Chains A and B, each alone.
Chain A
Amino acid sequence: MSEKIKAWPGTPLSEKDIREKRILVTEWQPNLKYAWDTGAGYGRYFAELKKGKIVGTKCNKCRRILLPARVFCEWCFRTVDEWVYLKDTGTVNTFSVAYTGTAAERLKEPRIPALIEIDGSDGVAIMHLISDVDPWKVKIGMRVKAVWKPKQKREGAITDIEYWKPI
């Protein structure tokens, strides 16, 4: 790789070198907090979730249902025309059986994240978790239903649906 380059820079360290501070290490814990405005689209989407309903919006130009609900269609670049109530049942579009957590830690019990096509939306999927089933029995095309948190525990968030289980 070019005769001029004689040596490749980079000094490898091991995890121990850092943990045991064998080299100079500085640490910093960032303090970054945010509170994002949900706006009209997600605002209503979550308000409906709190009531135990899944709602989408519809663009009459491309005739798509939009999920999660939003007030403008990104394909046609125009405001949507109506809000549409959808069912809380659906079909598994794809899924995984996850043994690693968010920080690459090993999980004892696997989680089953999935994309679930919501009935009534013409195949539009939302991201959520499947549970209450043997992970190795989950299949693409499997039918599932939302398991909602009890009404008083719902906050107006995607987690108002606790998980989805097979029907």
Chain B
Amino acid sequence: MRKVAVVGAGMTKFMRRAQETGKELAWETAKLALDSCDLTIKDVDCVVMGTAPDAFDMVHMKSEYLGDGAGAWRKPYVRGFLGGGTGVFTACQAWYHVASGMFDVCLAVTEEKMSSCLPHPQGAFVTCWDQFTESPLGTSLLWFFAWEMNRYMNAHGITQREIAEVSVKNKKNALHHPCAQLPGEITVDDVMNSEIMAWPVKRLDVSPTSDGAVVLVFASEDFAKRITDKPVWVEGVGWCLDTMYIGQRDLYYPKYVEYAARMAYDMAGIKDPRREIDIAEPYDPFSYKELHHAEGLLLCDKGEAVKLLLNGETQRTGRQPWCPSGGALGVGNAIAATGLMKVAELFWQLRGEAGGRQVPGKPRRGVAQAWGDEMQVGTVVVLGV
């Protein structure tokens, strides 16, 4: 298979409401990413767009509207969509554009403008679920997370206090991220005392809704070697979608993440991810999700993720840092942009360019993962140098 590398990256600050339109967020970031590797739009052969529901920006056929901002004028341009799993899938899609041999340089753009949806972006999710059997109950997005968190805690005897450590860790990690929306030094008590949104989910267990954009530049091996001496290779990709009928499966374990991870690890030739992965960026829209997903990524046994968290192995200076970026909890959850932010984090980390967040010891391989839909999607990318 043709080798593909990430050669440039850019992102905006993530914030609750940005003044820039979706188009402008895409444009600013695309320009930044190209500038970061001294390329211009003329060098770009094709563009892929990842952005979560049209219902946020409130524009039907959103990718058309965002196209000029994404640098797609008169170029092959297509949008991929996997709900919350989109951001990491955009990296997969950019990979296969170049790996197919049809293009040399692909611009992967992710953008989110959740703030346009009033009164609150969460409302856009009511209409996701089954229109016949679910939405009529007034089904809120939070219910699913609460159900899953409850099931996960119940299956393994994990407590809310233990899970709260994820929020503490990630918000602290985010203090060193220049684009972070909600970095901070919080305590487990802060999390436990925060407002109950849908028990057992509390306000500080939840990542904020955000506006933001992240862009990566993907290039073929020849092109990458010409323009940089630090290409970061895409070693594995995987994506998987489970049944929408959640009553037919057990929420305590994300099988779909495991299947996607196996696809990516097989491609990368990874047999023992616990040893061969140096950094992990599992998707953490909610605190327990980091643990839930890490188990799906086969980074530990089922139910054991919390042990690694509590004994410090997943801290930035630990054996296998999880979410050194600060994750969605710390940086912000601009859905698709957050997915690609995790891939961008690996890019910067593996090149030694992560500044105050740099994981020590010259990490060589990382895995980024996103999740989405009705607790259904796993998208995984393995990057390495």
Q: Quick check: A158 and B133 within 8 Å, CB to CB? A: yes
* CB-defined contacts of B198 to chain A, threshold 8 Å: 96-100, 113
A102 and B140 form a contact (CB under 8 A): yes
> Is A4 located at the chain interface by the 8 A CB criterion?
yes
Q: B123 contacts which of A42, A66, A95, A102 (Cβ < 8 Å)?
A: A102
Interface residues of B in 134-148 (CB under 8 A from A): 134, 136-140, 142-143, 146-148
Chain B residues near A114 (CB-CB < 8 A): 147
A96-B146, A97-B196, A113-B139 are known contacts. Are A12 and B16 too (CB-CB below 8 A)? yes
Of the residues A18, A42, A100, A110, contact of B17 by C-beta under 8 Å: A18
**Nearest CB in chain A: distance from B248 CB, A:** 6
Contact with B along A89-128 (1 / 0, CB 8 A): 0000111111111111100001101110100000011111
- Complex Cα gap A38–B133 (Å): 11
B18→A158 contact, CB < 8 A: no
Whether a CB of chain B sits under 8 angstroms from the CB of A40 is no
Name the A residues within 8 Å of B25 (CB-CB). 9-10
Asked if B201 is an interface residue, CB under 8 A from chain A, the answer is: yes
Query: Which residues of B have CB within 8 Å of A117?
Result: 247
Contact of A102 with B126 at beta-carbon distance under 8 Å, contacts A5-B36, A125-B247 already known = yes
List CB contacts (< 8 Å) of B167-209 with chain A.
178-179, 195-201
What's the minimum C-beta distance from B159 to chain A, rounded to whole angstroms? 15
Q: Which of A15, A34, A98 contacts B143 (CB under 8 A)?
A: A98
A167 interface contact, C-beta 8 A: no
Closest to B10 in A: A5
Interchain CB contact under 8 A, B353 and A1: yes
Q: Does B19 sit within 8 A of A, measured CB to CB?
A: yes
* Interface members, chain A 1-18 (any B CB < 8 Å): 1-2, 4-5, 8-15, 17-18
Contact call B147/A96, Cβ cutoff below 8 A: yes
Which one of B58, B123, B132, B142 lies within 8 Å of A28 (CB-CB)?
B58
A115 to B130, CA, bound (A): 15
Residue on B with the closest CB to A75? B243
Closest A residue to B32 by beta carbon equals: A5
Complex Cα gap A98–B29 (Å) = 37
Interface: B253 (CB within 8 A): no
In the bound complex, how far is the Cα of B14 from the Cα of A135, in angstroms? 36
Q: Is the CB of A96 within 8 A of B143?
A: yes
Contact A98 to B18, CB < 8 A, known contacts A36-B131, A74-B245, A124-B247: no
Contact across chains for A9 and B28 when beta carbons are under 8 A apart: yes
Given the complex, which residues of B lie within 8 Å of A135, measured CB to CB? 199
Q: Which size bracket describes the interface of A in this complex?
A: 35 or more
A157–B17 Cα gap in the complex (Å)?
A: 38
Chain B residues whose C-beta falls within 8 Å of the C-beta of A126 in the assembled complex: 133, 247
Interface string of B191-229 (1 = CB under 8 A from A): 000011111110000000001100000000000000000
Which residue of B is nearest A112, CB measured?
A: B199
CB interface residues, B 1-52, toward A, < 8 Å: 8-20, 25, 28-29, 32, 35-36, 38
**Interface: B120 (CB within 8 A):** yes
Residues of chain B with a CB closer than 8 A to A159's CB: 136-137
B147 touches A95 (CB 8 A): yes
CB of A64 within 8 A of chain B? yes
Which residues of the partner chain A approach B36 to less than 8 Å between Cβ atoms? 2, 4-5
The answer to whether A140 and B150 have CB atoms under 8 Å apart is yes
A79 to B125, CA, bound (A): 31
**A1 engages B248 (CB within 8 Å):** no
Q: Which residues of A contact B147 (CB under 8 A)?
A: 94-96, 113-115
The reply on B101 being an interface residue by CB < 8 A is no
Task: Chain A residues near B14: list those with CB within 8 A.
Answer: 10
Cβ–Cβ contact A2 & B142, under 8 A: no
CB atoms of A2 and B245 under 8 A apart: no
Which of A23, A105, A113 contacts B137 (CB under 8 A)? A113
Query: Any chain B CB within 8 A of the CB of A166?
Result: no
The residue on A at minimum CB distance from B149 is A96
Chain B residues with CB under 8 A of A15: 17
Q: Do B150 and A9 touch across chains, with their CB atoms under 8 A apart? A: no
Chain A interface (Cβ within 8 Å of chain B)? 1-2, 4-5, 8-15, 17-18, 23, 28, 30, 34, 36, 38, 42, 45-46, 64, 66-68, 74-75, 93-105, 110-111, 113-115, 117, 124-129, 135, 140, 157-159
Could you write out 16 A-B pairs with CB less than 8 Å apart? A10-B212, A11-B19, A18-B17, A28-B58, A36-B132, A42-B133, A68-B245, A75-B243, A96-B143, A97-B196, A97-B199, A102-B123, A103-B123, A113-B143, A115-B147, A115-B251
Please name the 9 residue pairs, one residue from A and one from B, whose CB atoms are nearest each other, closest first: A96-B146, A10-B13, A125-B247, A9-B28, A97-B199, A98-B198, A103-B123, A10-B12, A11-B19
User: Beyond A11-B18, A74-B243, A158-B137: 18 further Cβ-contacts under 8 Å?
Assistant: A1-B348, A5-B35, A9-B32, A10-B15, A13-B19, A28-B58, A67-B248, A94-B154, A94-B251, A96-B143, A96-B150, A97-B196, A102-B126, A125-B246, A126-B133, A127-B247, A128-B137, A140-B150
